């Protein structure tokens, strides 16, 4: 579903289901491929792998969110520089209508629902729409995609359409082509980097 969805500046109603319990500093929910990483006194930062069909949100300054080997997949980095809060989604397919049941179980598999669920969780933690810095990587034409499906191209089209319908813009991107990419987001600085073909550069 690529129709517009409501994106207020802050979704306070999400806060209760996004808050950690049990004294942990990480909440991983495998049924939706979601990890929420919250800042706690004395907690050390780590690199968090955001796998295919997963998304992660963190406010720990030392954390780095990483999506490896993006081919036709979309790697989306979203950051609020005021709160120093960020998230990443690793989406494989363009539209959730292809398999609504699967999308309900794992929304980040699809670009349309992946964008929505990532932004909802960021807003639930206080991020403001007007502050967001959005960066994209991936959406390549991979070798075994013979052009019949053009998954990368479709992923990119859905990304732009969903953001446009919600008055959001991509700040910078490295998309298309045929090379796989790895994208990373530093929570402390909001800097997003792409690695591809032996080169490491900032988006």
Catalytic residues: 73
Q: At what angle do helices 151-165 and 111-124 cross, to 10 degrees?
A: 40
Three-state secondary-structure class, residue 129:
helix
Q: For residue 164, what are the contacts with CB-CB under 8 A and spacing of at least 6?
A: none
Q: How far apart are CA 166 and CA 170, in angstroms?
A: 12
CB count within 10 Å of CB 70 equals 29
Q: How far apart are CA 6 and CA 120, in angstroms?
A: 9
For CA atoms 75, 1, 130, 12, the dihedral sign is negative
Q: Is there a contact between 164 and 5 (Cβ–Cβ < 8 Å)?
A: no
């Amino acid at each position: 579903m690529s129709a517009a969805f409501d994106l207020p500046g802050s979704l306070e109603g999400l806060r209760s289901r996004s808050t950690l319990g049990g004294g942990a500093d990480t909440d991983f929910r495998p049924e939706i491929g979601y990890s929420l990483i919250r800042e706690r006194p004395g907690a050390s930062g780590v690199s968090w792998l955001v796998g295919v069909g997963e998304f992660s949100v963190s406010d720990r300054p030392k954390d780095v969110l990483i999506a490896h080997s993006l081919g036709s997949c979309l790697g989306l980095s979203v950051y609020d520089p005021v709160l120093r809060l960020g998230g990443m989604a690793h989406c494989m397919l363009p539209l959730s209508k292809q398999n609504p049941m699967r999308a309900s179980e794992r929304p980040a598999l699809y670009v349309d629902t992946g964008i929505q669920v990532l932004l909802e969780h960021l807003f639930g933690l206080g991020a403001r729409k007007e502050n967001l810095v959005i960066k994209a990587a991936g959406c390549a034409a991979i070798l075994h995609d013979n052009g019949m499906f053009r998954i990368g191209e479709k992923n990119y089209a859905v990304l732009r359409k969903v953001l446009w319908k919600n008055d959001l813009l991509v700040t910078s991107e490295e998309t298309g082509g045929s090379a796989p990419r790895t994208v990373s987001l530093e929570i402390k600085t909001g800097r997003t980097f792409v690695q591809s073909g032996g080169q490491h550069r900032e988006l």
